[in-house]
Amino acid sequence: MQFSSKKPGFEYLRKKWSARHRASQNRFWEKHGEALKQVAIGSLGGLMLLTPAKSLTVQTHLFASRDDVLKGYDKNVLLAESLSDKIPKDLSPLEKQEEMSIVETLSKSFGFKVTAQIDNIRLNRNFGLIGGEQHLLRYPGDNLYAHADTTVDWAKYGSAGMAPGLGAWGYFAPSKSEFTEIAKQREKYYLAIQTFLVPGYAENVAKYRDFFKFRKMLVVNPKTGQAVVAVIADAGPAEWTGKHLGGSPEVMDVLGLSEGLRQGPVLYFFIDDQSDQVPLGPVKVTEKLAKI
Partner 1 sequence: MKYFYSHLIAIDSIIEELDEMDLSDEEKIHLGQLLDSSLHHTILDAILSQLSDSDKRAFMQCITEGNHDKIWKFLNEKTARVEDKIKKAAKDLKEELQEDIEEVHKLK
Note the residues at the interface with partner 1 (CB under 8 A): 1, 3, 5, 7-10, 12-14, 16-18, 20-21, 24-25, 27-28, 31-32, 34-36, 38-39, 43-44, 46-51, 58, 61-66, 143, 145-146, 148-156, 158-159
d(CA 260, CA 66): 12
For the CB of residue 58, give the shortest distance to partner 1 in the complex, in Å.
8
d(CA 217, CA 236): 15
Specify the residue, 151 or 274, whose C-beta has the smaller distance to partner 1.
Answer: 151
Specify the residue, 133 or 250, whose C-beta has the smaller distance to partner 1.
Answer: 250
d(CA 17, CA 213): 44
For the CB of residue 55, give the shortest distance to partner 1 in the complex, in Å.
15
Specify the residue, 203 or 276, whose C-beta has the smaller distance to partner 1.
Answer: 276
Specify the residue, 66 or 213, whose C-beta has the smaller distance to partner 1.
Answer: 66
For the CB of residue 44, give the shortest distance to partner 1 in the complex, in Å.
8
Ranges of beta strands (E only) in 119-238 are: 121-122, 127-132, 190-193, 216-220, 227-235
Helix, strand, coil share of the chain (percent; to 5): 40, 15, 45
- Strand-pairing partners, residue 281, are 229
For the CB of residue 11, give the shortest distance to partner 1 in the complex, in Å.
10
d(CA 204, CA 188): 29
Name the DSSP letter for residue 240: G
For residue 283, give every residue at least 6 positions away whose Cβ sits within 8 Å of its Cβ, in sequence order, or none: 110, 218, 227, 228, 229
For the CB of residue 263, give the shortest distance to partner 1 in the complex, in Å.
18
Specify the residue, 14 or 86, whose C-beta has the smaller distance to partner 1.
Answer: 14
Specify the residue, 14 or 75, whose C-beta has the smaller distance to partner 1.
Answer: 14
For the CB of residue 228, give the shortest distance to partner 1 in the complex, in Å.
15
